[in-house]
């Protein structure tokens, strides 16, 4: 009898151990995390934003992204948005984790970032049927010629209409904010700053925006290549009662839409003596400068 009891106890102990072992095996059999990802676009231009989407498996996971060449260059959200500023081919790496461990998925050369080719389109102003070249810089459609719209007050340099075709007209700030064609407007300070960063920074961007040579600039016209397609001539300025018309071929100043807290307006300026693209906040609104319009 004692022997039978012992056998029964041994059997129950064995079954209990098998049950525990089975549970342990079940925990060990928990599958490692898995995930896939996709991008809203893979072949893009500089300054485009790509949205990434993680497609998780059955298990809840934590995500860690790495974006080569992107801004930001890392993220821990499920659907990050990434800005690419520099041409090239860039990889994406995703690591997912859960209690069972982690899995890393890496795609080399996953995002291809291209330069803009600066091919010109054409804008026809419906108010007077004048046409203007349009280019794309930093993802923005912007006029590649100075505005020449006659609002009844804007002037040509030296009041000479022959200057209009190349240099356009000069406007005060109050006139400039209403001067652009329908669906176009003055660029903001931030938009010109974005263009400047795209073109390499303050001290090199200006040369990439100026027409080269000395047909429309005085010497030395430093660093002028017009590689951006902006095609700025040295259009000068106008200050009635003071300097009158001044600096033709020496400088070009463009209004922005942005006002300062001091009652002035921000402007963007280029000069013949260097390759700088200056963005300045000391411009009196009563001065007369050039206008470029950006697509709204």
Q: Is residue 29 part of a domain?
A: no
Number of domains observed in the structure of the chain: 2
Please check whether residue 19 lies inside any domain of the structure.
Answer: no
Tens digits of pLDDT across the chain (296 residues) = 444 444 455 455 544 454 545 544 445 556 778 778 999 999 988 778 899 998 865 557 888 999 999 999 999 998 999 999 888 999 999 999 888 888 899 999 999 998 766 768 999 999 999 999 999 998 899 999 999 999 999 999 999 999 999 999 999 999 999 999 999 999 999 999 999 999 989 999 999 999 999 999 999 999 999 989 999 999 999 998 877 999 999 999 999 999 999 999 999 999 999 999 999 998 899 999 999 999 99
Are 233 and 274 members of one domain?
Answer: yes
Instruction: Looking at the structure, tell me whether residues 88 and 135 fall in a common domain.
Output: no
pLDDT at position 9 is: 54
Domain for residue 14, yes or no? no
Neighbours of 109 (CB within 10 A): 12
Q: For 140, what's the count of Cα atoms within 13 Å in the CB-facing half-sphere? A: 26
Domain boundary among 114, 132, 149: 114
Choose the final residue of a domain: 114, 133, 156.
114
Same domain for 94 and 133? no
Residue 248 located in a structural domain:
yes
Q: How far apart are CA 257 and CA 178, in angstroms?
A: 10
The residue segments making up the domain with residue 234 are 121-295
Residues 247 and 133 in one domain: yes
Whether residue 214 sits in one domain with residue 236: yes
275 and 174 co-located in one domain? yes
Q: Of 220, 255, 1, 9, nearest to 146 (Cα)? A: 255
Last residue of a domain, one of 79, 114, 149: 114
Q: What does the block give as tokens for 211?
A: 């027409």
Task: Tell me whether residue 6 is in a domain.
Answer: no
Residues 148 and 43 in one domain: no
DSSP structural state of residue 289: B
Q: Is residue 49 part of a domain?
A: yes
pLDDT of residue 5: 44
Residues near 214 by Cβ (< 8 Å), separated by ≥ 6?
A: 221, 249
Do 194 and 283 share a domain, yes or no? yes
Residues 6+ apart with CB under 8 A from 222: 207, 272, 273, 274, 275
Same domain (yes/no): 270, 162: yes
User: Same structural domain for residues 108 and 135?
Assistant: no
Phi/psi for 263 (5° steps) reads: 90, 0
Is residue 24 in some structural domain?
A: no
Tokens of 117: 């080719």
Q: Are residues 269 and 188 in the same domain?
A: yes
Residues 152 and 96 grouped into a single domain: no
Distance (Å, rounded) from C-alpha 39 to C-alpha 206?
A: 35
């Amino acid at each position: 009898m004692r022997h039978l009891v012992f056998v029964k106890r041994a059997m129950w102990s064995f079954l209990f151990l098998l049950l525990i072992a089975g549970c342990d095996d079940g925990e060990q059999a928990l599958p490692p995390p898995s995930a896939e990802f996709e991008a809203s676009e893979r072949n893009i231009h500089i300054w485009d934003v790509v949205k990434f989407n993680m497609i998780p498996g059955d298990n809840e996971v934590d995500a860690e992204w790495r974006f080569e060449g992107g801004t930001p260059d890392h993220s821990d959200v499920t659907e990050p948005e990434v800005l690419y500023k520099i041409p090239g081919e860039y990889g994406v790496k995703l690591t997912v984790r859960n209690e069972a461990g982690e899995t890393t998925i890496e795609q080399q050369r996953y995002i291809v970032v291209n330069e803009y080719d600066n091919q010109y389109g054409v804008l026809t102003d419906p108010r007077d049927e004048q046409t203007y070249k349009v280019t794309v810089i930093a993802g923005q459609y912007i006029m590649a010629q100075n505005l020449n719209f006659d609002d009844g007050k804007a002037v040509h340099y030296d009041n000479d209409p022959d200057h209009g075709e190349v240099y356009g007209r000069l406007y005060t700030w109050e006139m400039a904010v209403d001067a652009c064609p329908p669906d176009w407007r003055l660029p903001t300070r931030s938009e010109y700053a974005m263009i400047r960063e795209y073109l390499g920074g303050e001290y090199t961007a200006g040369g990439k925006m100026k027409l080269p040579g000395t047909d429309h600039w005085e010497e030395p016209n430093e660093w002028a290549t017009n590689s951006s397609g902006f095609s700025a001539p040295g259009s000068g300025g106008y200050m009635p009662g003071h300097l009158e018309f001044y600096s033709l071929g020496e400088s070009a100043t463009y209004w922005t839409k942005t006002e300062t807290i001091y009652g002035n307006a921000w402007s963007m300026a280029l000069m013949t003596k260097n390759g700088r693209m200056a963005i300045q906040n000391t411009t009196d609104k009563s001065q007369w400068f050039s206008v470029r319009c950006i697509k709204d």
